Structure 1
Amino acid sequence: MFEVSFSTELAKIKKKEFAPVYLVFGTEAYLIDTLRKTLMENVIGPDEIDLNFSSFDMEEVSLGTVLADAESIPFFGERRLIFMNRSVFLSTEKSKQKNDPDLADFEHYLQQPSESTVLVIYAPYEKLDQRKKINKLLKKSAVLIDVQPLKERDVQKYIRDTINNEGYNISPEAFEKLIQLTDANLSTAIGELPKLFLYAQENRKITVAAVEALVPKSLEQNIFALNESVLKKDTAHALSLYQDLLLQKEDPIKINAIMAGQFRLLIQVQMLLKKGFQQSEIGKMLKVHPYRIKLAAQQIRKFDSKTLLSAYEGLIETEYHLKTGQGDRKMQFELFVLSFANKGNSKKIFS
């Protein structure tokens, strides 16, 4: 869908082959931004923005307002460009505006759109309400541009192609590290490339050292590493990572909560895999990014369910101590690490 819909339509727009109505469906920020920029550069000239471009928040304005603009003649130009943002009336989500009186007129417009207007309807939602007449009409009359988050292999291909097209090479290890540090998120990865290009401009080679130095770890990634150390009962490393987070002014309750959430995910993924579900199915069921499911599946291979559950229960107990103010807040997690590491051959540390 990505190669057919997004790439093909983008190429047509650059050739000045415009459709009167586009439905942009999905939530991938980088693709949405790329499309917006391409439309702005090709449908209207830079000196026409004030005259022939309009952008509406459909949570705030009526369809009648959009229609009045769409049916207007362009000023000193060939076309008008109109963005309809947050078109919640197409989705299954609740809208501030109910029963828009201009809906019937808008449906009529879709059947006979103005030839001098390019109307772009943005629907940044996971699902559209297929029961609605308006969506059935859009299927027939609009060009659908799919900007749903890409699968990991498509993200990797897009990033690799972008790097190569800019005249750079990246080692396999560096590429793997880039995907890992950006959670296989297209927008995040693309956003990190300018720094890497600047760093490697002399020899045009991106190394793993460059990626590690320039691409920051998120809090969740730091805590993922902390989880790994806890599970391996590498007490020294776990406590060192924890101290680093405290030096970064992270709150102990927040650290503990994210850790507990990650362990809960590990337990859920382990249970669902045992029941025969595929990783893609699990991601949809838990509403979690596929790359996180992949990492969880890799991590749980190293540990049995008893170990995961024991760690999770320890974190829940730590959360109770943190929230009830029992003992030093910064020490509670350290006590958990020591308690878990000595599980089975030491007495309980929490009193």
Structure 2
Amino acid sequence: MTHQTIIKNIAKGEYSPIYFLHGEEPYFIDLIEKFATTKIINESDRDFDQSIIYGKDTELQSVINSAKRFPMMGKHQVISVREAQNFKKFDELIQYAKKPQVQTILFFSYKGKKLDARILKKLGSNVTFFESKKLYDNQIPGWIINQVESEQLTIAEKSAVLLSEFLGNDLAKISNEIKKLTLSLPKTTEITPEIIEKNIGISKEYNVFELCNAIANRDIVKANRIVNHFADNEKNYPLVVTLSNLYRLFTKIMSCYFSPSNQPNVVAQILGVKPFFVKEYMNGKKNYTKRQIFNIIGYLSDYDLKSKGYGNSSTSDGELLKELVFKILH
């Protein structure tokens, strides 16, 4: 079941007695719990019929005891059990789930990993499960576009990529930045690189996306200008982020060599990206041979180690980046 379906059902008043939200991506788990805790119980009754319990601070049997009680004011009580990954076993919940108290709605937030499949099976049909999976990097721009459109704004794919490259894969952080923009922009406004630069502080000219583009096109002047800016502002442009993006760039370029066709849709499917990105990778294929790409991936591994102190005791991240990009381009 998707998080959208769970939220839709809760909005309609269709509740499960137990929700078990687990997985690597905390954003969707928090989204469901936050919606439920503001929707199910009236604000005036929340002091009586709503509880938040932390797994690291309590025993599971104590949670079950609370779940067996009846609501004091309304039709339901909601118990949110956060940090449920701290429970070592779930025997008491397995027993409770066989015949749960129907006026109690339990939410278990089990973050960072999947629940063991054997426990999932034992919990049975009275439990609604949701596995919150991490989005792949190439899925994040599309997710940003959907989030922006849900706020009645629009955003071009390049701007969505710019946001994802700067903010990374922290969906909560991205969502917060989008909400800030909705407060300052009229409805239907298109979020452009200029708006992003002004409101979020991301430079439309000096960012990892533009660096990768310059390197793929072997634009030495542009690449050096960006690298020098990165080196002068190391805290704003962590080397580890730049390295991971360059590694992704060259592995995608290498994959272009194995595509059965140069048609953008075919290449996009092979690479697992949207057609928008294909031009950059195909330009990279024109500018770098397979042997050069193989060597560059080796350079990236070497400089990743150097950035962590292996074989390097004094060279700054900015200087390491300059050396690396010089080797790539020459």
Is the TM value for this pair above 0.5? Answer: yes
* Counterparts of residues 1-40 of structure 1 (less than 5 Å): 1-2=1-2, 6-40=3-37
| Distance change (3 Å), C-alpha of 1:182 and 1:29 | farther
Residue 241 of structure 1, CA deviation:
1.4
Report the AA paired with residue 205 of structure 1.
Answer: T
Report the AA paired with residue 61 of structure 2.
Answer: G
| Distance change (3 Å), C-alpha of 1:241 and 1:179 | same
* Counterparts of residues 11-90 of structure 1 (less than 5 Å): 11-88=8-85
* Counterparts of residues 47-196 of structure 1 (less than 5 Å): 47-88=44-85, 98=88, 100=89, 103-125=90-112, 127-130=114-117, 132=118, 134-145=119-130, 147-149=132-134, 155=143, 158-159=146-147, 161-164=149-152, 168=153, 170=154, 174-183=155-164, 187-196=172-181
Residue 282 of structure 1, CA deviation:
9.5
Residue 70 of structure 1, CA deviation:
0.9
For residues 240 and 61 of structure 1, the distance between their equivalents in structure 2, rounded to whole angstroms, comes to 55
| Distance change (3 Å), C-alpha of 1:298 and 1:68 | farther
Identity level (%): 18
For residues 280 and 338 of structure 1, the distance between their equivalents in structure 2, rounded to whole angstroms, comes to 29
Root mean square deviation, CA, Å? 4.2
Does the aligned pair in 1 maintain the 2:16–2:126 contact within 8 Å? Answer: no
| Distance change (3 Å), C-alpha of 1:335 and 1:114 | closer
Q: SS state of the match for residue 119, structure 1?
A: strand
* 2:190 equivalent among 206, 212, 225: 206
For residues 317 and 146 of structure 1, the distance between their equivalents in structure 2, rounded to whole angstroms, comes to 37
Equivalent in the alignment of 1:347 = none
Report the AA paired with residue 160 of structure 2.
Answer: I
| Distance change (3 Å), C-alpha of 1:144 and 1:161 | farther
Residue 205 of structure 1, CA deviation:
2.4
Q: What TM-score does the superposition give when structure 2 sets the normalisation length?
A: 0.72
| Distance change (3 Å), C-alpha of 1:61 and 1:314 | same
Report the AA paired with residue 55 of structure 2.
Answer: M
| Distance change (3 Å), C-alpha of 1:21 and 1:212 | same
Give ranges in structure 1 of 5+ residues lacking alignment: 89-95, 284-289, 344-351
Residue 50 of structure 1, CA deviation:
3.3
Equivalent in the alignment of 2:223 = 238
Give ranges in structure 2 of 5+ residues lacking alignment: 260-265
For residues 12 and 120 of structure 2, the distance between their equivalents in structure 1, rounded to whole angstroms, comes to 28
Report the AA paired with residue 240 of structure 1.
Answer: R
Does the aligned pair in 1 maintain the 2:49–2:71 contact within 8 Å? Answer: yes
Report the AA paired with residue 18 of structure 1.
Answer: Y
Q: What TM-score does the superposition give when structure 1 sets the normalisation length?
A: 0.68
Report the AA paired with residue 109 of structure 1.
Answer: Y
How many residue pairs get aligned? The number is 308
Does the aligned pair in 2 maintain the 1:51–1:75 contact within 8 Å? Answer: yes
Please identify, of 103-112 and 182-191, the stretch whose mean Cα deviation from structure 2 is larger.
182-191
| Distance change (3 Å), C-alpha of 1:108 and 1:307 | same
| Distance change (3 Å), C-alpha of 1:274 and 1:188 | farther
Q: SS state of the match for residue 63, structure 2?
A: helix
Residue 21 of structure 1, CA deviation:
1.2
* 2:245 equivalent among 262, 267, 276: 262
